[in-house]
């Protein structure tokens, strides 16, 4: 079995199963460890609650922009906001693949991002065959395409990798062994995906299928380790954390 | 030495496992400007190492390789002491963390670990024990009686509407402010009472060193005493952790709601002002308000002190105020350990400040770091063209005065403006 088929039909389903088990374990721990508190909440208006909910999410972003602009540009903007998130969830090829596993994911087709600024054609090896991406993004497609987004994400992830190594070198405790493992993994997913999309290093179909197979294999590894690494913040830690902070500070204390 | 490791609940689990190590919190901490390794994320990481060792499979199997480690040697504990006592638990890192992680709460849990192994500043340990066993009442009887004689106010009056919750710490470091609060209450004709004895030293001191059992006992004893007097409102003068602890944590610690409402003095004065009971004259003075972290950020008391001050002074704006206030670094017991305040406590209670050469050096270094931590905020306050800085937190007030700032307690300032 060649690596593409192995990745598609063995590795990825296995990774999804590991992901489901791991994610369930992570989430159920929160349910079982929940302890109801006895508190006297400060009264506040509905408008205050909504405003503080929005601010809970915005405050760290504006603070980060003021105090650590490099981190903001590379770590937040390039890597997260205009890199990984649209790339993973809206790239047309990804929508096609995820839709094959989760049918309702196809609802995102109108938001699909083409792989290049020049052509909206999906590759012939995609599970849906040849298809033209009818993007909603109009002129924004010049930036909102797989090529550019991958470059943004690679720049962001590279910056973070070097920043982590530098911080480790300086003896900062906030760099953990996991960082040194997951950043290369993320870069491997991004770089193999970009190479596959560009039929690089060779236009030969065997090379292409190998590179795509590697991309999916790394992506499967990413999915498998997702619940057990800091990657899980995207699905849980970030949302739980900010909502808890909002409850604690705004609802309970009226701040 | 065996250590007691905090239990996990869902919130602690979140603080433990969802830190991305991005260090976005770092610039929010006053101690980060003393040493980059005092960033909240790094201080909290010491507790994470301990939790990993106990609660994760990888931590048990791979230990230090995956950042899991229990403190074992005396050197380990002494190193942890330095980091654990470079946090004022001001909460700014909590609100600037993209993941809502309260590193101050983590550092407090680290202090719990240290305390369980017998590591805590001697002074805090002694004060906590005195507070728990009530020894401070007899030791400070003369100081208290002198205060009551000066105050000339009702004492232990049952069912008064307001009980002014006065601690020994209030009398020792903010005596004039307490007397001014009594003056204000008399001037508005409030039906109030003072307690028959000081309610704690800086209650609950046990919280500052991570002795939860002592903190719980002190809170239970004070609440029991207060309920025996049946006031409708208990008013706290101390704008530091005493307010936020009694207002937002005490009910959960005792697992029941109380029969009284709890207010900070600034909230009560704002109520008087709104109802027309408090009449203030304009003093023609330009002031800037140094908010208290525990009142404003952790307590939601932002507008009340401003409204009162605006009625009697020109209140100037200063950056990083209100809920975003920059901390002066003296919370969570650090202010108590500062030389000025610890000297007062030694004089009043006969307490011991340090029990070894190492601890003396530890306290001297803490004192220097505390001074450096306050410097950034003091510069900002000095740059504002104000006649006086008004503070709500006794430790902030001490830090400001030490930094050469003309500063006054909120209540004392308001008392000057009474008609």
The string of pLDDT tens digits covering residues B284-329 is 999 999 999 999 999 999 999 999 999 999 999 999 999 999 999 9
Mutation pick from B30, B53, B98 vs chain A, by most beta carbons of A within 10 Å, is B98
Closest chain B residue to the Cα of A168, Cα to Cα: B21
Can you give the residue range of the structural domain that contains B318?
286-328+352-416
A80 lies within 8 A of chain B by CB: no
CA pair distance B50, B45, nearest whole angstrom: 9
For residue B83, is it within any domain?
yes
Domain limit, last residue, from B90, B119, B148 = B119
User: Are residues B271 and B297 both part of a single domain?
Assistant: no
Kindly state the helix (H) or strand (E) to which residue B408 belongs, with its residue range: strand B407-409
User: Are residues B164 and B233 both part of a single domain?
Assistant: yes
The string of pLDDT tens digits covering residues B7-62 is 999 999 999 999 999 999 999 999 999 999 999 999 999 999 999 999 999 999 99
At A54, the pLDDT band (50, 70, 90 cuts) reads very high
For residue B19, is it within any domain?
yes
pLDDT (0 to 100) of residue A130: 54
Q: Tell me if B20 and A230 make a contact (CB, 8 A cut-off).
A: yes
B251 lies within 8 A of chain A by CB: yes
ipTM: 0.95
CATH code of B55's domain: 1.10.1060
User: Are residues B147 and B111 both part of a single domain?
Assistant: no
What are the distances in angstroms from CA B299 to CA A124, A160, B328?
A: 60, 36, 17
For residue B258, is it within any domain?
yes
The string of pLDDT tens digits covering residues B105-162 is 999 999 999 999 999 999 999 999 999 999 999 999 999 999 999 999 999 999 999 9
Kindly state the helix (H) or strand (E) to which residue B234 belongs, with its residue range: strand B233-236
Reply yes or no on whether the pLDDT at A90 is more than 50: yes
Reply yes or no on whether the pLDDT at B174 is more than 50: yes
User: Are residues B85 and B139 both part of a single domain?
Assistant: no
At B352, the pLDDT band (50, 70, 90 cuts) reads confident
User: Are residues B167 and B291 both part of a single domain?
Assistant: no
DSSP A73: I
- For B265-364, list the strands marked E by DSSP: 286-290, 314-316
Closest chain B residue to the Cα of A242, Cα to Cα: B100
Among A54, A39, A248, smallest CA distance to B10 is for A248
CA pair distance B121, B85, nearest whole angstrom: 9
User: Are residues B130 and B115 both part of a single domain?
Assistant: no
CATH code of B128's domain: 3.40.50
Dihedral sign of CA atoms B375, B377, B379, B381 in order: negative
Residue B346 CB neighbours (<10 A):
14
The string of pLDDT tens digits covering residues A124-162 is 444 555 566 667 888 888 888 898 899 999 999 999 999
Reply yes or no on whether the pLDDT at A122 is more than 70: no
CA pair distance A22, A16, nearest whole angstrom: 10
Six token digits for residue B254: 């005792």
- Cβ contacts (< 8 Å) between B100 and chain A: which residues? 56, 240-246
User: Are residues B55 and B165 both part of a single domain?
Assistant: no
DSSP A91: B
B35 lies within 8 A of chain A by CB: no
Burial of A60 (0-12, 13-18, 19+ CB in 10 A): buried
pLDDT (0 to 100) of residue A125: 47
* Strand pairing report for B192-193 and B233-236: unpaired
In angstroms, the separation between the Cα of residue B42 and the nearest Cα of chain A is 5
CA pair distance A246, B105, nearest whole angstrom: 16
For residue B339, is it within any domain?
no
User: Are residues B203 and B293 both part of a single domain?
Assistant: no
- Cβ contacts (< 8 Å) between B300 and chain A: which residues? 42, 253-255
B75 lies within 8 A of chain A by CB: no
User: Are residues B256 and B292 both part of a single domain?
Assistant: no
Domain limit, last residue, from B102, B119, B136 = B119
CA pair distance A74, A152, nearest whole angstrom: 8
Q: Which of A29, A175, A236 sits opposite B21 (nearest CB)?
A: A175
User: Are residues B292 and B400 both part of a single domain?
Assistant: yes
CA pair distance B232, A149, nearest whole angstrom: 61
CA pair distance B233, B151, nearest whole angstrom: 20
A132 lies within 8 A of chain B by CB: no
Domain limit, last residue, from B119, B151, B174 = B119
Six token digits for residue A48: 């205050």
User: Are residues B173 and B300 both part of a single domain?
Assistant: no
Residue B363 φ then ψ, to 5°: -70, -35
- Cβ contacts (< 8 Å) between A172 and chain B: which residues? 23, 36-37, 39, 42
Residue A124 φ then ψ, to 5°: -65, -20
Closest chain B residue to the Cα of A243, Cα to Cα: B100
- Cβ contacts (< 8 Å) between B257 and chain A: which residues? 38, 40
Closest chain B residue to the Cα of A38, Cα to Cα: B252
For residue B151, is it within any domain?
yes
Six token digits for residue B309: 């001050």
Closest chain B residue to the Cα of A27, Cα to Cα: B10
- Cβ contacts (< 8 Å) between B42 and chain A: which residues? 172-174
For residue B78, is it within any domain?
yes
**Number of residues in chain A:** 255
Structural domain count, chain B: 3
For residue B341, is it within any domain?
no
User: Are residues B178 and B225 both part of a single domain?
Assistant: yes
Among A108, A106, A107, A197, smallest CA distance to A146 is for A197
For residue B93, is it within any domain?
yes
Interface of A with B in 168-227 (CB under 8 A): 170-179
């Amino acid at each position: 079995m060649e690596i593409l088929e192995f990745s598609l039909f063995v590795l990825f389903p296995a990774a999804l199963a590991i992901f489901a088990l791991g994610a369930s374990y992570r989430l159920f721990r929160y349910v079982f460890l929940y302890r109801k508190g006895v508190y006297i909440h400060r009264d506040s208006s509905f408008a205050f609650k909504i405003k503080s909910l929005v601010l809970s999410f915005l405050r760290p972003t504006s603070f980060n922009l003021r105090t650590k602009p490099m981190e903001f540009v590379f770590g937040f903007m390039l890597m997260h906001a205009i890199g990984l998130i649209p790339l993973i969830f809206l790239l047309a090829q990804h929508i096609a693949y995820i839709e094959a596993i989760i049918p309702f994911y196809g609802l995102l087709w109108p938001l699909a991002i083409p792989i290049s600024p020049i052509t909206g054609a999906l590759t012939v090896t995609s599970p849906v065959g040849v298809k033209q991406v009818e993007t909603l993004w109009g002129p924004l497609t010049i930036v909102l395409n797989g090529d550019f987004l991958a470059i943004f994400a690679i720049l962001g992830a590279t910056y973070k990798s070097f920043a982590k190594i530098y911080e480790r070198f300086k003896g900062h405790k906030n760099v953990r062994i996991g960082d040194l493992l997951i950043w290369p993994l993320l870069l491997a997913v991004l770089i193999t995906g970009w190479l596959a999309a560009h039929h690089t290093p060779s236009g030969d179909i065997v090379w292409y299928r190998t590179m795509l197979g590697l991309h999916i294999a790394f992506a499967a590894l990413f999915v498998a380790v997702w619940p057990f690494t800091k990657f899980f913040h995207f699905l849980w830690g970030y949302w739980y954390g900010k909502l808890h902070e909002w409850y604690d500070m705004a609802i309970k204390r009226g701040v | 030495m065996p250590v007691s490791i905090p239990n996990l609940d869902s919130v602690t689990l979140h603080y433990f496992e969802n830190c991305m190590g991005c260090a976005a919190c770092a610039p929010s901490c006053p101690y980060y400007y003393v040493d980059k390794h005092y960033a909240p994320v790094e201080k909290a990481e010491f507790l994470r190492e301990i939790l990993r060792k106990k609660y994760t499979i990888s931590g048990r199997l791979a230990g230090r390789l995956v950042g899991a480690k229990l403190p074992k040697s005396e050197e380990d504990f002494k190193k942890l002491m330095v980091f654990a006592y470079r946090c004022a638990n001001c909460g700014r890192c909590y609100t600037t963390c993209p993941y809502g992680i309260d590193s101050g709460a983590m550092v407090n849990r680290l202090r719990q670990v240290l305390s369980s192994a017998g590591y805590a500043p001697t002074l805090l340990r002694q004060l906590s024990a005195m507070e728990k066993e009530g020894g401070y009442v007899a030791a400070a009887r003369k100081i208290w009686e002198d205060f009551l004689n000066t105050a000339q106010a009702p004492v232990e009056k049952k069912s008064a509407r307001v009980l002014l919750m006065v601690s020994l710490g209030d009398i020792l470091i903010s005596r004039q402010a307490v007397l001014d609060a009594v003056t204000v209450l008399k001037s508005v004709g409030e039906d109030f009472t003072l307690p028959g004895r000081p309610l704690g030293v800086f209650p609950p001191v046990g919280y500052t060193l991570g002795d939860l059992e002592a903190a719980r006992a002190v809170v239970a004893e004070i609440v029991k005493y207060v309920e025996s007097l049946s006031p409708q409102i208990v008013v706290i003068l101390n704008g530091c952790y005493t307010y936020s602890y009694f207002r937002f944590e005490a009910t959960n610690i005792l697992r029941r709601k109380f029969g009284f409402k709890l207010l900070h003095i600034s909230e009560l004065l704002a109520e008087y002002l709104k109802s027309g009971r408090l009449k203030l004259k304009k003093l023609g003075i330009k002031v800037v308000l140094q908010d208290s972290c525990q009142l404003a950020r952790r307590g939601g008391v932002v507008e009340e002190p401003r409204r009162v001050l605006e009625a009697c002074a020109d209140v100037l704006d200063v950056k990083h105020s209100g809920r975003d206030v920059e901390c002066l670094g003296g919370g969570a017991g650090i202010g108590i350990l500062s030389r000025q305040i610890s000297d007062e406590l030694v004089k009043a209670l006969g307490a011991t400040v340090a029990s070894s050469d190492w601890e003396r050096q530890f306290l001297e270094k803490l004192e220097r770091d505390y001074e450096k931590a306050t410097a950034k905020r003091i510069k900002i306050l000095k740059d504002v063209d104000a006649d006086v800085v008004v503070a709500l937190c006794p430790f902030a007030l001490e830090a400001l005065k030490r930094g050469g700032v003309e500063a006054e307690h909120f209540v004392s300032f308001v008392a000057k403006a009474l008609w």
